[in-house]
Copies of this chain bind each other. A is one copy, B any other.
């Protein structure tokens, strides 16, 4: 008898009809002889509806109370799914974050799970019940309600699978699995059968929306096999698993993009030690995440320093940088929100040289100018003009994936 954790996203439980459909899928898994734990997101649109209510009341809603508010969305969907399963004649039971003590730290809106008390879940499973757990939520050590951030139900599901030592964590979503790139941009994109945790983490952090990064990190740490698949079909999706030898032969697994960043350049900054700290400390204190940074020393003893932040933090970052710029006698600031980051990801890069060079050649051939570059062991990202993003994705996909990546 296998223990299966299934996670259904907001689209999958977006209407009463869809909830009934999920109930049937869950029931089928149970009837195949599995013990089943289901983790659900809020019904599609509900989190945004609640956030809008909060924002009508307070421009900058208090984080503790916002989390109490948002957690109600998963409370509704978990109880409705449990009702639907029971209506099929199958015993079921919903649990909220505080009832199975999904204990997190105190970081409202982006809490991290510290522990799960699986006692009640195991008891319910033993009694033959299907367990439905509200995703996205937990409680801190003082029982304050916390939420895990957008996509947090993925993390709830993987954490639950780890705590229960489940055989698999199935992530049901509105796409068929993880694709080599966005099929909306590149019609030749194809579903991956398998991908390693490391690649998935890089793809998620460079723009792939299918899984929350933290959920993949957690899956990697606890070796939880994750199966990303469609809630609207029975087809196999993509397995996210530990890297094995055979994966090395694939140079590039995916091409990702991110249009959500903006670029800020400090011009002709006097080049001296401590400069970067002076620029980035106020930004860090404002909790703004900086993605890429490049600095080019020039011959006159000054340097241009460029970095990217998310478009949401863009204006705030500019106002902070403007203050610093005059203090450090920079010649000025140049800003550009019309950029995009395009990345290629693959564990094969570890063992194959020349991937970056080929990427730059391909883009140059298309006349696409590279503004910034950032690399990791299994990823190369470039910042280019937003207008050239789609073309870049298509040509990189063609060269590295459709042609199976000969250098």
Contact residues of A with B, CB < 8 Å? Answer: 16, 19-20, 50, 53-54, 56-59, 61-62, 64-66, 68-69, 71-72, 75-76, 78-80, 82-84, 86-87, 92-94, 96, 98-99, 143-145
Contact = CB atoms under 8 A, between A and B. Distances in A.
A80 B58 CA distance: 9
B53 A16 contact: yes
A16 B56 contact: yes
11 contacts: A16-B56, A54-B80, A58-B83, A65-B83, A68-B82, A69-B80, A96-B145, A98-B98, A98-B99, A98-B143, A99-B144
Contacts of A144: 99
B79 A75 contact: no
- Top 10 A-B pairs ranked by shortest CB distance? A68-B79, A58-B87, A69-B79, A72-B72, A72-B75, A16-B56, A65-B79, A65-B82, A65-B83, A62-B86
B94 A65 contact: yes
Nearest to A67: B79
Contacts of A94: 65, 68
B57 A84 contact: yes
A83 B54 contact: yes
Contacts of A78: 68
Contacts of A71: 75
A98 B96 CA distance: 11
Contacts of A80: 53-54, 57, 65, 69
A280 to B, nearest CB: 31
Given A53-B80, A143-B99, A58 B86 contact: yes
A74 to B, nearest CB: 9
A55 to B, nearest CB: 10
Contacts of A64: 93
Contacts of A66: 79, 83
Contacts of A69: 75-76, 79-80, 83
B76 A58 contact: no
A261 to B, nearest CB: 31
Given A16-B53, A53-B80, 13 more contacts: A16-B57, A54-B83, A58-B87, A62-B82, A62-B83, A65-B82, A65-B83, A65-B86, A66-B79, A68-B79, A71-B75, A72-B72, A75-B75
A352 to B, nearest CB: 53
Nearest to A101: B143
B16 A87 contact: no
A50 B68 contact: no
A83 B61 contact: yes
A58 B84 contact: yes
A61 B316 CA distance: 49
Contacts of A20: 57
- Max chain B CB contacts within 10 Å: which of A75, A79, A99? A79
A87 B57 CA distance: 8
Nearest to A143: B99
A58 B88 CA distance: 9
Contacts of A65: 79-80, 82-83, 86, 92, 94
A82 to B, nearest CB: 5
Given A16-B53, A58-B87, A99-B143, A75 B68 contact: yes
